[in-house]
Amino acid sequence: MVNVGILGATGMVGQRFIERLGDHPQFELTALTASKRSAGKKYEDAATWYLDSKIPEVAEDVVVVDTDPNEVKDVDIVFSALPADIAAVVEPQFAEAGMIVASNASAMRMEPDVPLVIPEINPEHLELVEIQQKNRGWEGFIVTNPNCSTIALAMTLKPLYDHYNIERVYVSTMQAVSGAGYSGVPSMAIVDNLVPFIGEEEEKMELETLHLLGDFDGESVTPASFGVSTSCHRVAVLDGHTEAVFIEMEDEFEVDDIKNSFAEFRGLPQKLGLYSAPKNPVIVREEDNRPQPRMDRNAERGMAVSVGRIRKDEVFDRSFKYVLVGHNTIRGAAGASILNAELINEIM
């Protein structure tokens, strides 16, 4: 068993980490950090548990410590659910102290020597770790996963990108409130309403998606060269981001082949049989009115992305459209970091 800890364990994503590490076959949850205010308390006293599952027993009695590498002993991997500004300061300290940091925070994602990885998409980017350690003189290292809405999108673009030349992608999102944290979206803002704006989300999607699909030449990543334009919106859904995707290809295609590309897609986690890996990373739904967030977010324990309404665009040439749903705090956050750690644990 590998000892693991969670940085920022009391928030929304921190709780998802705990939920999924409570009975993990390879990872033993031994450390939980939070702000100074919570340090010294047992986890069950420090946190208000927001999920409808129970707090895993392994976490209940863990005494929360300050988010400081000196407080986190005998831990090999830390998962980071920290806010970006704190992550920028603290994650390097943990890497310097020799730990592997599997981070869901955005702070380090775009550093040229920090891998931004989804195991099904670009596991080879992990080779950046060596460069990172050399550059920075760290014993440990940082590996990151993308933003929640990016992950769901990229999971569906990867099988296409493997078979086709993509010309351009337009994406309009309908994102769940949990993405903003437990108190991020007041009920007054969202009941009988929606909010057509999420700070920095569009920029992240447009940049990170191409980075994930980019080429690694042993030194650095060259982003994929097609275009992704996004519009991001918050709707009255608890969990599960929905995205309407319009794609123009460079060449002709058959819609059935597109569907097959989705349905048959398998990546390295599937080959290696990693514990958190979904059997089918992309699930194709044939019903008229699916995927829907409440119905499909938990597919494959929340680790698969569901796509539906795959249809030819009757208006534009070489174009088609689909709708996807992915669980934003599982596949799009905690589950993504854990899958990264499982891959690292297996191959590095």
Applying CB under 8 A, which residues contact a second copy? 12, 50, 52, 168, 170, 172, 174, 177-178, 182-197, 199, 206, 227-229, 231, 233, 235-238, 242, 244, 246, 288-295, 298, 308-309, 313-316, 319, 321, 323
Which residue number, 69 or 302, has a Cβ lying nearer to a second copy?
Answer: 302
In Å, how far from its chain's centre is CA 112? 19
Among 71, 44, 72, smallest CA distance to 58 is for 44
The CA distance from 238 to 293, in Å, is 9
Among 202, 183, 181, 185, smallest CA distance to 194 is for 185
* Structure-block tokens of residue 169: 């992608």
Which residue number, 136 or 312, has a Cβ lying nearer to a second copy?
Answer: 312
Is residue 148 part of the annotated active site? The answer reads yes
Q: Tell the smallest beta-carbon distance from residue 154 to a second copy (Å).
A: 16
Q: Tell the smallest beta-carbon distance from residue 336 to a second copy (Å).
A: 21
Among 345, 306, 336, 340, smallest CA distance to 16 is for 336
Q: Tell the smallest beta-carbon distance from residue 14 to a second copy (Å).
A: 14
Q: Tell the smallest beta-carbon distance from residue 203 to a second copy (Å).
A: 8
CB 146 within 8 A of CB 109: yes
Is residue 232 part of the annotated active site? The answer reads no
Which residue number, 161 or 246, has a Cβ lying nearer to a second copy?
Answer: 246
The CA distance from 11 to 48, in Å, is 9
Q: Tell the smallest beta-carbon distance from residue 220 to a second copy (Å).
A: 22
The CA distance from 177 to 190, in Å, is 9
Which residue number, 138 or 297, has a Cβ lying nearer to a second copy?
Answer: 297
Q: Tell the smallest beta-carbon distance from residue 196 to a second copy (Å).
A: 4
Which residue is catalytic, options 148, 211, 232, 327? 148
Which residue number, 69 or 179, has a Cβ lying nearer to a second copy?
Answer: 179
Helical residues (DSSP H) of 82-124, grouped into ranges: 84-96
* 271-277 contacts at long range (C-beta below 8 A, 24 or more positions apart): 272/343, 272/346, 272/347, 274/119, 274/339, 274/342, 274/343, 274/346, 275/24, 275/25, 275/26, 275/342, 276/20, 276/301, 276/303, 276/335, 276/338, 276/339, 276/342, 277/119, 277/120, 277/303, 277/339, 277/342
Which residue is catalytic, options 24, 125, 211, 241? 241
Which residue number, 112 or 184, has a Cβ lying nearer to a second copy?
Answer: 184
Residues with a known catalytic role: 148, 241
